[in-house]
Structure 1
Amino acid sequence: MGDQPYELMDARQAADALDAYLAERDPALRRLRGALADGGLDPDETLDGSVYSVSPLWAWITARIAALGVDPHPLADDPTRPGWPSWARHGRLVDPHPPAETIALVDGFASYLGRVIGAEAPEAAWQVGEHLLADHPLLNYPVLATDHHLIFLPAIPLYSAYQSAHGRAPMSGTEMLAHTRRTIDALHGEGPEAAAIEEPLVTVVAEVDCFDVGLREDIPAEHPQIVPQLIDELCARDGVASVHRYGPAALVVDVTDWDELRLKLWCTLWLQRHLPR
Structure 2
Amino acid sequence: MLYEWMTGSQAGDALDEFLAERAPALQRLRSALSGLGRDADALLDGSPESVASVWEPITARCADLGTDPRSLEEDPTRPGWPSWARHGKLVDPHPPAESLALVDGFVSYLAEVITSAVPDALWIVGEHRISDYPTLNYPVLASDSHQIFLPALPLYSVYQSAHGRDPMGGPEMLAHVRRTITALRGEGPESSVAEEPLVTVVAEVDCFDVGLREDIAEQHPHLVERLVAELTDRDGVVSVYRYGPAALVVDVPEWDETRLRLWLTLWLQRHLPR
Q: TM-score, normalized by length of structure 2?
A: 0.99
3-state SS of paired residue (2:150)? coil
Mean CA deviation greater in 189-198 or 31-40: 189-198
3-state SS of paired residue (2:76)? coil
Is 1:188 aligned to residue 185 of structure 2? yes
Instruction: Give the distance between the partners of 1:59 and 1:85, measured in 2 at CA.
Output: 21
Instruction: Give the distance between the partners of 1:107 and 1:40, measured in 2 at CA.
Output: 19
Per-residue deviation, residues 53-84 of structure 1 (Å, max 9, x unmatched): 00011111111000000001000110100100
3-state SS of paired residue (2:190)? helix
1:32-51 alignment to 2 at 5 Å?
32-51=29-48
1:156 pairs with one of 153, 157, 168: 153
3-state SS of paired residue (2:94)? coil
3-state SS of paired residue (1:143)? strand
CA RMSD in angstroms comes to: 0.6
Instruction: Give the distance between the partners of 1:58 and 1:243, measured in 2 at CA.
Output: 33
3-state SS of paired residue (1:75)? coil
Residue identity opposite 2:44 in structure 1: L
1:170 pairs with one of 149, 154, 167: 167
TM-fit CA distance, 1:195: 2.1
TM-fit CA distance, 1:223: 0.8
Is 1:234 aligned to residue 231 of structure 2? yes
1:123 pairs with one of 108, 120, 125: 120
Q: Which residue of 2 aligns with 1:72?
A: 69
Q: Which residue of 2 aligns with 1:93?
A: 90
Q: TM-score, normalized by length of structure 1?
A: 0.98
> 4+ runs of 1 displaced by more than 4 Å?
none
Is 1:6 aligned to residue 8 of structure 2? no
Gaps of 5+ in 1: none
Per-residue deviation, residues 166-185 of structure 1 (Å, max 9, x unmatched): 00000010000000000000
Q: Which residue of 2 aligns with 1:60?
A: 57
Q: Which residue of 2 aligns with 1:142?
A: 139
Instruction: Give the distance between the partners of 2:55 and 2:86, measured in 1 at CA.
Output: 23
TM-fit CA distance, 1:196: 2.8
3-state SS of paired residue (2:263)? helix
Q: Which residue of 2 aligns with 1:109?
A: 106
Per-residue deviation, residues 176-220 of structure 1 (Å, max 9, x unmatched): 000000000000111121123210000000011000000000001
Gaps of 5+ in 2: none
Is 1:223 aligned to residue 220 of structure 2? yes
1:212 pairs with one of 205, 209, 212: 209
Per-residue deviation, residues 140-189 of structure 1 (Å, max 9, x unmatched): 00000001000000000000000000000000100000000000000011
Residue correspondences, number: 274
3-state SS of paired residue (1:251)? strand
Residue identity opposite 2:97 in structure 1: A
